[in-house]
Structure 1
Amino acid sequence: MLSQLQFLKLWHKIAIYSYKFVNMDTVVLRKNRKNKYLLVAVPAFLLVGYFVYAAATKKRSLDVKRSEIVIRPVEDAFFEDFIVFQAKVEPLNSMLINVAEGGSVQEIFIENGDRVTKGQPLARLYNPNTELSYVTQETSIIEQVNNLDKAKLDLRNQELNLAKDLVAIEHDYQDAKTQYDLNEKLFKEEILSANEWQKTKENFRFQKERKNIIQQSIQKEKQANAVQISQINQSKVFMQKSLEILRTNKKNFLVTAPLAGRISSFEPILGKNYTVGESIGKIDVMKGYKLLAEVDEYYLEKISEGQKGHIEYNGENINVAVTKVIPEVKNGRFIAELNFTDGKVPDLKQGLSFGVRLTLSEKKKSTVLSKGAFYADTSGKWIFIAKGGKAVRKDIKLGRENPLYYEVVSGLQPGDSIITSAYTDYKSIEVLNINN
C-alpha cells in the first residue's frame, strides 16, 4: 500500500502529464472545449482520491490525559511462579460427635467452646418409640434367658433321677449277687433244690443285664445332656451379650465426649430431632494446628503435596508445606491442607486467617510485565507501548503469571513503557495521543 508521500508524488506527476497532454501541439480540425474540462476534472478527481485514501489509511487515534493512564516499564528480573491465597487455622486433629440413637434433644449440659473430658455428658436425647422398643426387647431377652435356665435345670433333674434309679438298680444287683453266691454253696452241698437254684441264677442274670443297660443308658443320656447344656450355655452367652448391647444402646441417648478437647460447632436446640449418624458437633484436640485453604480450581493441577510456602505472623515468616490436596471441586474451589515445617508451631488461635504465599517453581531470570487492568480487555494478546507523547498498539504474547507479574514470551523488550491501566475505551484505537 502506498504511503501518503508516495501518493502525493504520483498525483503531482499525473497532473503534469495531464497538463502537457492537453496543451501539446496537435493538428485539430476544430475547437473542442472538452480539453479544457479535462484539465480541470483530472486534478480535482486526484485530489478527492487523495483525501479518500488518507482517510482510509490513517490510523485511528485518541487523545488521553496522562493522569488517566498508568504506565509501567517492562523489566528484566527474576520471575517466581507463586500464588497467594487465604488459609484458616484449624486444630491438627478433630473428631465428629455423631448421634448413635436418634431422638429429640431433651437436655444440654455444655456450651459451644467449652473444654471437655473423655466421657463427659454433652446432651441427652429421647425417643419414646425407641425406648419402648428397648423395653420390649429387654423383656423378651430376659424371658428367653429364664427359659434356657429352666431347660438346663430340667436336664440336671433328669440326670439326678437317672442317678437315683441307678442306685436302686445297683442295690437290687448286689442283693441278687449275694443270693447267688449263697445259693451256689447250698446247691453244691445239695441243700438247695435244683429249681430254686435255677430261679436264683435267672434273677442274678436279669439284675446284671438290667444294671448294664441302665448304666449305658445313663452314660448316653449324660453325653446328650452335656451337649444340650453346652448349647444352652452358648445361647445364654449370646443372650447376655445382646442384653448388654441393648442396655448400652439405651445409654446412647446420653451423648458423651469421645475424647478430651474443646467442643466446637456444637449448637443443639431443645426439642430438635437428630437422626442416627447425624453430627451434633466436633471435638478439637488442642495439640497442634494446621491450615486449611479453599483454592481456585485453576490451580488444581499446579498444587501438589510437598510444595513449600510461608505465612507472615508477628512480623516473621513461618514456613509451611502442602500435606494434603482434596481434589473435589465445589463452587469452583478445592481444599488444600498445610502444616508447619519449622518444628515449632507458633501460638495460634483457631479461626485466624493468613495469606499463604505458595511457591510453584524456582526463581528464573525473565522478561516480566507488571500486572494491570489491561489484561481483562486484551487477554494478554496486545498492548500499548508508550514512547514520547504517543502510545502505539502492538501484538504480544504472555506466558506464566504470579500475583505481581506476567512473564513476557514475545513482543516486548526490557525498557519498553507499557500502559497497564484498563483498555475499555481503547479496544478499536491504534494510537493514543498522551497529553499532560
Structure 2
Amino acid sequence: MLKVWHKIVNIPIKQILMDTIVTRKNRKNKYLLLAVPVFLLAGYFVYSAVTKKRSLAVKKSEVIIKTVEKNYFEDFIILQAKVEPLNSMLLNVIEGGSIQEIFVGNGDFVKKGQPLARLYNPNTELGYVTQETSIIEQINNLNKAKLDLRNQELNMQKDLVAIDHDYQDAKNLYDLNEKLFKEEILSKNEWSKTQENFRFQKERKNIIQQSIKKEKQANLIQISQISQSQAIMYKSLDILRTNKKNFLVTAPLTGRLTSFEPVLGKNYASGESIGKIDVMQGYKLVAEVDEFYLQRVTAGQKGQVDYKGENVAVAVSKVIPEIKSGRFLVELIFKADKELALQQGLSFGVRLILSEKAKTLVLSKGRFNEETAGRWIFVVKGNTAERRDIKLGRENPLYYEVLGGLKEGEQVVTSGYADYKEIQILNFND
C-alpha cells in the first residue's frame, strides 16, 4: 500500500491535470425551466385581466329600475305655446324722420285712422315743396299750351267767316252778272272777270275749310295728349300731398296697439316698424319647436291643450320652416265649439300628436339615454345588472319605442350612467 501511495505521490501535477476529466453543470437549461412556468403564470393573469368583465358594486336604492312592457305608444310632443291674436298688422313708418309727437300709449285700443304719432323731417318736407311747385308750374304750362291751340282754332274760324263773306259776295255778283250777260247788258270782259273772281273765292273757301278741318284734328290729338299729361301730373300732385300727410302715423285698422314704444326725438327710417295692431277677433297659439321635428310637423295635425281642467282640441294651421337658434315656429288654431275667454300672452302646454296610437314594446324614459344614445342598457338579473346592446326607435315624453335587444317583462336600469360608462356588470347590495 505504501508503494502504491508512493507512486501516486511521485506523479507530476501536470500529468494529473491532463489525465482527469472535470464535468461542468449546464445552468442555461436550468434558467429556461424556471422561466417557462413564470411566463405562463404571467400570461394567465394578463388574459384574466383582459377577458374579465369589469364590475361595480352599487346600492340598489341608488338606481331606478323599470320594466319593459307592451303598451299603446302614441308619438307626440309637448310644446309651450303663447296666445296671440288671430290677425295682426305691423305699424311701419312710411316717411322716415324723428318722432315729434306721440298721441297714444302701448296697449291702447285704437280706431282706424286715429293719429298715433307725428314725425318731422325738414329735408323731406323741403323736397315736397320743391316738387309740388315744379308740378304746378308744368300744369300751368300745359294749360297755356291748350289755350294757345284753342285761340288758334278761334282765329282760323274768324278767317273762315271773312272768307265765307267774300265767297258770298262773289257768288251774288256772279248770279247778277250772269243774268245781265244773258240779256246782253254786261260785256263779255266783265263777265269773265266775275267768273274768275267767283272761281277764286270758291277754291279759297274750300282750301281754308280743309285746312281748318285738318288743324282741328291735329289740335284734338294735342289737346288729348295734354289732358293726359295733366291728369298724370294732378295724380302725382295728389300722391305728393298724400305723402306729406305720411309724417302723421295713423292706425291702419281698429284693434289693440302692442309693441308700440316710440321715443321722442329718435329717428326712424322709412319702412321701420314701431309697433303692431292686433285685431281682437279670435286667437291663435304660437309655439317654438325643435328643428328635429321640422319634417314631422305638418299643417292639419291635431293636438290638445288643458283649459280650466278640460281638454280643448287644437290643430296646426301654419308651419313657418325658417330656423332660428335651432327652432322653428308653428301656429295652431282652437277647434272648440264654444268661445273661450282667452287673453293675449297666456301660455298653454300643447300635446301635439304626430302619429296614431299603436301597441308595441316600450320602455319608460330615463337619463341612461344621455350616455348611451339608445345603443346599450343594463338588464337586471337577480342581484346583478349586465350590459346589453339594444335598439330604440321613436320616443315621446313618456316612452321609448323598443325595436330590438329587449323582451317584454325584462327589467332595466334607466337612471343616469355617468359613472358606469366602462362597466359591464353592476352588483347590487343592500
Same structural fold, with TM-score higher than 0.5 when normalized by the shorter chain: yes
Is 2:92 the counterpart of 1:101?
A: no
Select 1:91's aligned residue among 85, 89, 114: 85
**What are the equivalent positions in structure 2 for 1:2-401 lying under 5 Å apart?**
57-401=51-395
SS in 1 for 2:318: strand
1:395–1:149 Cα change, 3 Å: same
Retained in 2: the 8 A contact 1:307–1:360? yes
Give the residue type in structure 1 aligned to 2:366. G
Q: Distance in 1 between matches of 2:394 and 2:212?
A: 95
1:253 to partner: Cα distance: 1.7
Is 2:417 the counterpart of 1:423?
A: yes
Give the residue type in structure 1 aligned to 2:190. E
1:409 to partner: Cα distance: 1.9
**What are the equivalent positions in structure 2 for 1:395-410 lying under 5 Å apart?**
395-410=389-404
1:376 to partner: Cα distance: 0.9
1:98 to partner: Cα distance: 2.2
Comparing 44-53 with 184-193, greater Cα deviation is found at: 44-53
1:291 to partner: Cα distance: 1.1
Give the residue type in structure 2 aligned to 1:188. K
Q: Which residue of 1 aligns with 2:407?
A: 413
1:136 to partner: Cα distance: 1.1
Give the residue type in structure 2 aligned to 1:75. E
- When normalised by structure 2's length, the TM-score is 0.86
1:58–1:211 Cα change, 3 Å: closer
Q: Deviations over 1:95-132 (max 9, x none)?
A: 22222222222222211211111111222222222211
1:435 to partner: Cα distance: 2.4
SS in 2 for 1:344: coil
SS in 2 for 1:218: helix
1:333 to partner: Cα distance: 0.9
1:357–1:181 Cα change, 3 Å: same
Q: Distance in 2 between matches of 1:47 and 1:213?
A: 139
Retained in 2: the 8 A contact 1:289–1:345? no
Identical-residue share of aligned pairs (%): 73
Q: Distance in 2 between matches of 1:219 and 1:41?
A: 136
1:297 to partner: Cα distance: 0.8
Q: Distance in 2 between matches of 1:432 and 1:158?
A: 114
Give the residue type in structure 2 aligned to 1:157. N
1:243–1:45 Cα change, 3 Å: closer
Q: Distance in 2 between matches of 1:43 and 1:165?
A: 146
SS in 2 for 1:230: helix
- When normalised by structure 1's length, the TM-score is 0.85
Q: Distance in 1 between matches of 2:384 and 2:224?
A: 104
Q: Distance in 2 between matches of 1:412 and 1:208?
A: 120
1:374–1:159 Cα change, 3 Å: same
Q: How many residues align?
A: 400
Give the residue type in structure 2 aligned to 1:223. Q
Q: Deviations over 1:265-315 (max 9, x none)?
A: 222222222222222222111111111111001111211122111011111
